[in-house]
Structure 1
Amino acid sequence: MPFCHNILNMSCVKSTWSNDVRASLYSLMVLVILTTLVGNLIVIISISHFKQLHTPTNWLIHSMATVDFLLGCLVMPYSMVRCVEHCWYFGEFFCKIHTSTDIMLSSASIFHLSFISIDRYYAVCDPLRYKARINILVIFVMIFISWSVPAVFAFGMIFLELNFKGVEEMYYKHVHCMGGCSVFFSKISGVLAFMISFYIPGSIMLCVYYRIYFIANGQARSINGMNQNFQIGLEEKHGILRSKERKAAKTLGIVMGVFLVCWCPFFLCTLMDPFLDYTIPPTLNDALIWCGYLNSTFNPMVYAFFYPWFRKALKMILFGKIFQKDSSICKLVLESNS
């Protein structure tokens, strides 16, 4: 058996996959990484460059794209080598840095999704008071919380070794090996990670989506039940609003579906593994982590590709038109559709 370290009785076992399997895995993961980087970088450039896109909501999306870009840049490449080779070649201290950064950025991305759903709730369900409630200061508070809470949680847990507190003996006897870098949680830390990084923000997203869908349907029934004479005028007046409601409901529905499909399996395994005496295979855990990473790959597609401004910004970036004079003040889309 090949080993990761020269001290054989303490070393992790290296991957025994054939070269063809490794090449396929590397190719697939590199494709995911490049797609994540390119997609999120386009969102970052678009919102940064075009002044029309300098809105509170878009700064929140810009911050999320930055998180997802950093995840693809700083975390995924090292996770790729670890998953394919089953070995960690970058030292024990960098393992802690990588694990902390991984947990922080993955959680921060989920936090941003939760805050964006709250922003969309006020935009759709309380549009008259939206600008008063969700101003640039509120957005910066959301961004600060989305970065700071995951950072404190992730780096505090890993560097203070709180993730296996109470089960240290079992961890060092049966789990820890030289040349490895796996994320390990005790029962308490596993439940805590599940609650902070997944359950609480996910529950907020689910409740907000249901509320938007419920209100949008209620408003549609209310308009349809009115007198025909008033209905024509109301449809003219509220046509744009109802269009935005449908777009927000559809987008949030897709966001919720993608989020649950990508992250739910990993966090459920993280929660259950300590209660199953750590019987879940490491290979399955690695596969579920990459399934979670795909959420950062899909985020720019779901949030940006659904909007007309993104498609026009993408064309201008690809054709180099953003380098032209006054391109930053170009009107990407009508104000009512922005």
Structure 2
Amino acid sequence: MLSSLSSNCSPITSDENVSICETEPTPELPAAMYVALAIYLFLLSLFGILVNGAFIYLYFSRKEIATVSNLYVVALCFCGFLISTLGVPFAAASCIRHEWIFGDGLCKLHGFLLTGLGIVMIALLTGIAVDKYIYIVRYHAHHKVTKSVAMAIIVSCNIYGIIWGILPLFGWNKYTLEPARLTCSVEWTGDISNHSYAITILFTGLLIPVGAIAYLYSTILQRVHSQRIVSQRLVSGSRKQIMIKREKKVAITLFFMVGSFVLAWLPYSIYGFLCILGYSKDIPLVWHTIPSVFAKASILWNPLIYALRSKAMKKALAETYPFLRWIGPKAFRKQKLELRRNQTTHTVLKSNALNGSDVVVHSSGDNHVTSTSL
């Protein structure tokens, strides 16, 4: 496919109206990478729709899942679903043509959508951390966080993200094609206006939330650890092992929550800082692309980590979607297996008794035997 051309015109005579134009091809990625990016983004869009859609349906169809804490998770899934349907497919289609093919208007809409929803998701992740902090550390006040309060927090997160997303449309920075010309985002280079917005959004939309989330989760882990130390003096050895196992589970969950957040957004934030510092032209084209598409994977990581670390959520998933029974809690799988055995264990014995009658024996899991003469 022919690459896009940029012109560089200079006069060849003293007559300024006569000039010669030297055309330079716009830098392109290797052809194999366009194919890889297209496949990656299409799959990300597909699984993003399925995974986020499944959790949204689960929340509204299962009463035991419709808790205040899970309201934040389903709001997160709504953002992921919108990005999966209205954001990622445009970038995937552009990969096939090796450039953005949807015009300037949709470029601005694409940039607004990804920027605004990205900030909303980061704000919601902070809200989830606050909710877990109140539930574990300030548990006496957790009853005050009702569904109405949670909805107000979620609405505030959405307004916060929309405001930051809409500002470039009104002149503070702007939405433009990224160097690889596959997606649109804010302008990381340029004048002081562009830099002021980029620096502000990095601090308010990334660094401050990361600091808040790290502090809240570290405080939660400290509380769980201190509770175990105090309780170990009063409980038996087996109970101590259960408490240690619980603390490890909390630590692993918090590690995944913080780790996924940092892993998704840290490369893109480093890229943004380098561009602000004026190193944009020194960054290879491939590294202009990878941080952006890598951050988009958070639409899958977030629901999987926040939902699948919950036994209640895994049990509901296994019951609602039969092909996901393997992810259910061990106790639930054992219960299902036992029920299946009870339903299928039906033995018909024919014996030559003294009266010549047949005997039907129903065997159940509790070794109860019922015989009936026919």
- Whether TM-score is above 0.5 comes out as yes
Distance verdict in 2 for CA 1:12–1:142, change over 3 Å:
farther
TM-score by length of 2: 0.71
**Largest Rg, 1 or 2:** 2
Distance verdict in 2 for CA 1:80–1:180, change over 3 Å:
closer
Distance verdict in 2 for CA 1:78–1:282, change over 3 Å:
farther
Structure 1 residue runs without a partner (length 5+): 166-170, 321-330, 332-338
TM-score by length of 1: 0.78
Name 2:341's counterpart in structure 1: none
Residue 176 (structure 1) shift: 9.1
Residue 207 (structure 1) shift: 0.5
Residue 310 (1) aligns with residue 323 (2): no
Residue 137 (structure 1) shift: 2.1
Which residue among 32, 50, 55 is the counterpart of 1:43?
55
Residue 293 (1) aligns with residue 296 (2): yes
Distance verdict in 2 for CA 1:243–1:177, change over 3 Å:
closer
> Identity over aligned residues, as a percent?
19
Distance verdict in 2 for CA 1:216–1:119, change over 3 Å:
same
Name 2:76's counterpart in structure 1: 64
Name 1:231's counterpart in structure 2: 235
Matches within 5 A, 1:1-338: 2-4=2-4, 13=26, 15=28, 17-18=30-31, 20-82=32-94, 85-132=97-144, 134-156=145-167, 158-163=168-173, 181=184, 183-185=186-188, 186-224=194-232, 226=233, 230-232=234-236, 247-279=249-281, 280-319=283-322
Distance verdict in 2 for CA 1:11–1:97, change over 3 Å:
farther
Residue 315 (structure 1) shift: 3.0
- Give the 3-state SS of the residue equivalent to 1:231 in structure 2: coil
- Give the 3-state SS of the residue equivalent to 1:163 in structure 2: coil
- The answer to whether the 8 A contact 1:65-1:300 is kept is yes
Distance verdict in 2 for CA 1:47–1:269, change over 3 Å:
same
- The answer to whether the 8 A contact 2:91-2:182 is kept is no
- The answer to whether the 8 A contact 1:83-1:283 is kept is no
Name 1:335's counterpart in structure 2: none
Residue 188 (structure 1) shift: 1.4
Distance verdict in 2 for CA 1:195–1:56, change over 3 Å:
same
- The answer to whether the 8 A contact 2:111-2:186 is kept is yes
Distance verdict in 2 for CA 1:283–1:160, change over 3 Å:
farther
Counterpart CA distance in 2 for 1:278 and 1:135 is: 47
Q: Which moved more, 1:180-189 or 1:43-52?
A: 180-189
Counterpart CA distance in 2 for 1:200 and 1:138 is: 23
Counterpart CA distance in 1 for 2:101 and 2:95 is: 12
- The answer to whether the 8 A contact 1:67-1:105 is kept is yes
Number of residue equivalences: 306
Q: Which has the higher contact order (CA 8 A, sep 6+)?
A: 1
- The answer to whether the 8 A contact 1:124-1:212 is kept is yes
Residue 243 (structure 1) shift: 7.2
Counterpart CA distance in 2 for 1:205 and 1:178 is: 33
Aligned-residue Cα RMSD (Å) equals 3.6
Distance verdict in 2 for CA 1:13–1:6, change over 3 Å:
closer
Structure 2 residue runs without a partner (length 5+): 9-20, 189-193, 324-331, 333-374
Counterpart CA distance in 1 for 2:123 and 2:180 is: 33
- The answer to whether the 8 A contact 1:164-1:189 is kept is no
Amino acid corresponding to residue 147 of structure 2 in structure 1: I
Distance verdict in 2 for CA 1:164–1:16, change over 3 Å:
closer
Higher strand proportion (structure 1 or 2): 2
Higher helix proportion (structure 1 or 2): 1
Distance verdict in 2 for CA 1:39–1:177, change over 3 Å:
closer
